[in-house]
């Protein structure tokens, strides 16, 4: 995959986020999109080596569309300035669709690679199930958080969007109360790759996802 070309395209798109520019540059987009699909297609078998559950994931469906949903947004820019994909066991990439825990990554217009694993902003019913699982499997949750590879690569779970108080139905002295306040159960890391493009991006992504696997596996147990 020509990563530098992708970053250059996204950078130009961020400065010319309109339909006329995109139509003029559609041939560039089509080539880069095809290369990105090849990357995801080759990445899935690498993930299967440590997580066989994703073997049935359709790479075409794992890719996110570049068109933005502007219906409920004040930002009327028609296009995203990232190329992104989410690989799941269910084959569904969106939390609202019940996709479950995912391996997610994107490349953005600033030349940053974000690698993530877990569930970002799951719907209310799913979030409650995860929180109940934290309480029911407090020891298992602790063990997962202490996993050496997970901690070395990602540190702790991301703390963005945290409630100020315990969620409804959970006591203030419940196990892992600070984690119960989270609205997402996800880890991620961000790396600047604009000047230092990985020699094998797929291999680097697979390694990052392997280190996130303990969280993904634990989340799959929440029902």
- Edge-to-edge strands of the sheet including 185-192? 82-88, 102-108, 112-119, 185-192
- Rounded CA-CA distance 209/203 in Å is 10
Strands (E), the chain: 82-88, 102-108, 112-119, 185-192
Number of domains in the chain: 1
Residues composing the chain: 223
Per-residue pLDDT of the chain (223 residues; tens, 9 = 90+): 899 999 999 999 999 999 999 999 999 999 999 999 999 999 999 999 999 999 999 999 999 999 998 777 778 899 999 999 999 998 877 766 667 999 999 999 999 999 999 999 999 999 999 999 999 999 999 999 999 999 999 999 999 889 999 999 999 999 999 999 999 999 999 999 988 888 899 999 999 999 999 999 999 999 8
Cα torsion angle, 162, 128, 185, 104, sign: negative
Q: Which domain holds residue 122?
A: 3-220
Cβ-based neighbour number of residue 82 at 10 Å: 18
Tokens at 131, concatenated: 């929180």
């Amino acid at each position: 995959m020509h990563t530098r070309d992708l970053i250059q395209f996204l950078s130009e798109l961020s400065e010319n986020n309109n339909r006329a520019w995109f139509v003029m540059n559609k041939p560039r987009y089509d080539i880069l999109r095809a290369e990105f699909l090849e990357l995801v297609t080759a990445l899935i078998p690498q993930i299967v080596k440590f997580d066989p559950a994703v073997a049935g994931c359709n790479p075409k469906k794992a890719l996110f569309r570049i068109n933005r949903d502007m219906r409920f947004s004040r930002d009327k820019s028609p296009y995203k300035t990232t190329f992104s994909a989410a690989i799941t066991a269910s084959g569904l990439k969106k939390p609202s669709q019940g996709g479950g825990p995912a391996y997610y990554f994107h490349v953005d217009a600033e030349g940053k690679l974000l690698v993530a694993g877990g569930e970002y902003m799951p719907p209310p019913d799913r979030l409650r199930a995860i929180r109940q699982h934290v309480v029911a499997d407090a020891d298992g949750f602790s063990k997962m958080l202490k996993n050496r590879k997970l901690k070395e690569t990602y540190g702790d779970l991301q703390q963005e969007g945290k409630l100020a108080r315990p969620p409804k139905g959970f006591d203030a002295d419940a196990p892992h109360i600070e984690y119960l306040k989270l609205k997402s159960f996800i880890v991620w890391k961000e790396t600047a790759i604009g000047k230092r493009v990985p020699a094998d991006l797929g291999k680097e992504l697979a390694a990052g996802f392997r280190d996130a696997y303990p969280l993904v596996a634990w989340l799959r147990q929440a029902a």
